[in-house]
Structure 1
């Protein structure tokens, strides 16, 4: 969900409204594993019709680590061509030169950027991370989020580092926290910057946690749910928010119980909402089998979508 007020130190996010959801997009592939721009267009239209106002492109859900720099640029360009709303481009990379290249490119196509800690270099000292992020923050012309996902990078971003960078670099707007530890999420809020949780489970708790909202990958096949939760929170309808969160939690449980990676599950589920949507993922991820896809789609069709499309029973 996007911030609707200025962070204490960072810049205001352009064109955003408090509590609106951010969807972390997937990257559809053709049968020969190229980026499928036709499927991307249909998918973006689906998200727009569901009322999603903001996207996080080329993030973990988008399989950015399996994309070349050229493919990440192509995906961003096609998304910008088709997307009328707010667009955050993830530009983080293990190689500093690649991150700079992606950042410079994003200046022409995005409203804001985000950068994950460099991966493979597990556990670098904070002063090394300070130098890395400082080089990006000194160069960016767009508001920037740091992206904390230590399960994948093995490099946590500390609240202390975020605060230090905030005092030095005015283009640092906040952080996307996918670490999963709510005490750390709360500590990030003490910096005065915008904080976005990567967990769908806290969609109704954003005010309690003091965060601006969530960035949802799991919401891709059911984007109406984070949109309706946000709308209920804005009107202080806590009962409605809780009911929609319960449906969202059911989707999270189905995703967890499937045994698939989150990305493989989300793509299989999207095929129920978008006819012909390609479910393939790039290695080392494994695409859902036909049987697994059928089970996911059947559950959505009979147990989840009726409540989304017709109202809670």
Structure 2
């Protein structure tokens, strides 16, 4: 059965400090809802805006709740990345993950290859690739992933289902997850290993519903759920997904996850967002 993995938001205080208590409350809630694995310090969790010390503090806090964790350690300083991976040795977790080096243009493939092999050599846990070409400017091809040779899995955040399917075809033993909420149903129905879904922060019930319907062969009903997922994603993007996530968790799950950290700023017109969400809330409730 496909895994449901949630890249959790990272709660911050209005002063910009990581709110570890709110994080623990949120992860506890997700685990109780039936989420399989928690993905830490990803894009949704504002990982690039966290210091190495904060990333490790996030892991320590969440580990009090669950060890079903993928610990994202990627960054532009390989020494920090390797240090974080090594510091995870005291935690019995699913694995560590990293995106390729970003920002620097025209990254050579052999540099990316060495980056991941260095990470694999240092990590006490299986290593997962976080492939997000839109954010990093570099797309790890199936051929390069195969050449890296030490990966356990891939979170593939692309909008084209052919991309993760090609990874699965070239590397059938690799755990391949889509990171695109718009592809939840096709990913589960096409034999991929699951989804890493930001929507899971505020509507994990919909992910579970799709999985159950696919498992039961009820694809027509699953399409209806995917349509609601798509509408929620469109709404979140309208207000800035990274900020809207915090509001949507509060509105749909009923608990506070703080605010984002600049350069991501809180939603300006929150009342309007809540108003537009209202009809969708009723549809979400009817699909649980």
With normalisation by structure 2, the TM-score equals 0.92
- The question of whether the paired residues in 2 share the 8 Å contact of 1:56 and 1:88 is answered with yes
- Give 1:1-313 correspondences, 5 Å limit: 18-83=1-66, 86-109=68-91, 110-166=93-149, 169=150, 172-189=151-168, 190-192=170-172, 193-207=174-188, 209-258=190-239, 260=240, 262-273=241-252, 275=254, 277-289=256-268, 292-300=269-277, 302-311=278-287
* C-alpha separation in 2, matches of 1:45 and 1:306: 24
SS across alignment from 2:11? coil
Unaligned runs of 5+ in 2: none
Aligned partners of 1:176 and 1:136: how far apart in 2?
16
Tell me the distance in 1 between the aligned counterparts of 2:28 and 2:271: 24
Secondary structure, counterpart of 1:244 in structure 2 = helix
Counterpart residue number, 1:10: none
Structure 1, unmatched stretches of 5+, are 1-17
Q: 1:304 to 1:108 in 2, by over 3 A?
A: farther
**How far apart are residue 223 of structure 1 and its match?**
1.1
Which has the larger helix fraction? 2
What's the RMSD between the two structures over aligned residues? 1.9
1:276/1:207 Cα in 2 relative to 1: closer, same or farther (>3 Å)? Answer: closer
Q: CA deviation at 1:310?
A: 4.1
Give the whole-Å Cα distance in 1 for the aligned partners of 2:178 and 2:126.
Answer: 18
Report SS of the residue matched to 2:152: strand
Normalising by structure 1, we get a TM-score of: 0.85
227-236 or 19-28, larger mean C-alpha shift? 227-236
8 Å Cα contact 2:159/2:183 also seen in 1 = no
Cα distance in 2 between the residues matched to 1:217 and 1:34: 22
Give the superposition deviation at 1:209.
Answer: 4.2
Q: Between Structure 1 and Structure 2, how many residues are aligned?
A: 285
Once the two structures are superposed, what CA deviation does each residue of 1:110-144 show, in whole Å capped at 9, x if it has no partner? 22111110122222111111111111112223221
- Give the Cα separation in 1 of the matches to 2:180 and 2:283: 22
Whole-angstrom CA distance in 2 between matches of 1:152 and 1:186:
20
